[in-house]
Amino acid sequence: MQIKLKMSVSNKVPEVSFFKFLKHANAILQNPLPFHAKNFDTLGDIFRLKIGFGKSILFCRDAGLLQHALQKNQKNYTKSYIQTKDLAKYVGKGLLTAEGAHWQKQRKLIQPAFHKGQLKLLVDTIQKTILAELKNIKIGKPMDVFPIFNDLAFQTVIKSIFNINISSADIDSLQHTTEATQKMLVQELRQPFFVWWFNLSGKTKKHLDLTQNSRTILKRLVKERKQSSGDHHDLLDMLLSAKYEDGSKMGKNKLVDEILILFAAGHETTSNALTFTCELLARNPTAQSKIASEIKKIKSESTDCMHWIKNASYTKLVIEESMRLFPPAYFMDRVNIEEDTYNGIVLPKGSNLLFSIYEIHRHSDFWKQPNEFIPERFLDENIKFSKNYFPFGAGPRMCIGNNFAMYEMILAIIALIEQFEIIEKESPIQIKPLITLKPHNAILEFKNRI
């Protein structure tokens, strides 16, 4: 279905003034989604937000335009300064932040490490890590589950990369830096008028120093791995053995960049998705019971984790619906290299486009009962693979770790629901949009499943 833009005859993009932006600055800092939703409802599926000093951003919830930028005309679109510069200063030039020939070269090199065949080697490590982290759930006591899933996801990523020979002190330091720098970046992006103060006060430098400390730790770990013998069956082994077309391997700095990207992109999005999934299950006990029944069936058939992953069909539907309602990557940005035209709208060279995945996933022109939790909607393959669903992006830059993330989330929900029942809850789900869409006050209560 084509989502139509609500435009004037001249196809002039409606504008939101800089004054209105400033007026709502504090509310935007806390949660920008209501501000943007009101503008979309009033102005249509694309509008221009003036952010001062001749700068503006085109906000869009037209899935067709997003598909145009990510796939049909993707060579004319690049990531914005936010990712290629602002984020890159904290996580380096890895797959998430690189562009052009450098990105193509790295993607081709790293892609095989995330092939389903290779991921099978990591499944046992993922499963053991999940079971260990779920021991932190307390029975009969309301608790915020996000920290548990945050630790679970980070531990899963780091142990899938390093498997062995990494101390708890190093893990804690790497996790602290990853989370602290992302919070700092949010402040820089939502309060661009204070960037001068962040620099002058030393706040930016403090977080850059944290990043440098993480790089030092990772370089030491890589050096230790190179000096060790034997196979460790982890991502670091795969990355160290990967070769470019000329037979050369990744240098130390590039390798560290890619590991930092895996930390940043690979743990927070997964922890968010798992938390939101549990929040939804708490409000939908029937879905929870269906997952429990599915677990009994698949575990009676095999003790193999890959069998569970392949056959936990309803569990996967629940996760897919959770990522529709609460997409971890809830915004996606692009800048057109040359002037472009879409549905009669002229996009001048260098236009900053910010696509709201959150709004696209809830657009009533495509989704029936868009705000309702209905996992069964994804039984329709046309829905799952439509141009209106972007849980992992689309096109050549689709998330390289999508299969890894799905394996981890399916195994985590299986392990959780097999052991525990989430007590029913009726209050609205709270969100905290930062770099990713994070849950807020995800207080749940558990009891042992009989």
The answer to whether residues 113 and 52 belong to one domain is no
Which residues contact residue 370 at a Cβ distance below 8 angstroms, ignoring those fewer than 6 apart?
361, 362, 363, 364
Q: What is the mean pLDDT of residues 52-59?
A: 86
Residue 395 has a pLDDT of: 86
Residue 2, domain CATH: 3.30.43.20
How confident is the model over 344-392, as pLDDT tens digits? 889 999 999 999 999 999 999 999 999 999 999 999 888 877 889 999 9
- What does residue 420 show for φ and ψ, rounded to 5 degrees? -125, 155
Residue 429, domain CATH: 1.10.630.10
The answer to whether residues 135 and 49 belong to one domain is no
The answer to whether residues 298 and 443 belong to one domain is yes
The answer to whether residues 373 and 227 belong to one domain is no
Per-residue pLDDT band at 4 (split at 50, 70, 90): very low
The answer to whether residues 148 and 289 belong to one domain is yes
Angle (nearest 5°) at CA 300 between 128 and 290: 85
The answer to whether residues 416 and 339 belong to one domain is no
Q: 215, 222, 223, 191: which is closest to 204 by C-alpha?
A: 191
Cβ(106)–Cβ(258) under 8 Å? yes
Total number of domains constituting the chain: 2
Q: What is the mean pLDDT of residues 13-37?
A: 88
The answer to whether residues 133 and 107 belong to one domain is yes
How confident is the model over 383-414, as pLDDT tens digits? 877 889 999 988 888 888 999 999 999 999 99
The answer to whether residues 398 and 372 belong to one domain is no
Which residue type sits at 433? P
The answer to whether residues 400 and 380 belong to one domain is no
The answer to whether residues 303 and 414 belong to one domain is yes
The answer to whether residues 303 and 224 belong to one domain is yes
Full domain range(s) for residue 353: 1-91+330-386
109 HSE (CA, 13 A, CB side): 26
The answer to whether residues 98 and 235 belong to one domain is yes
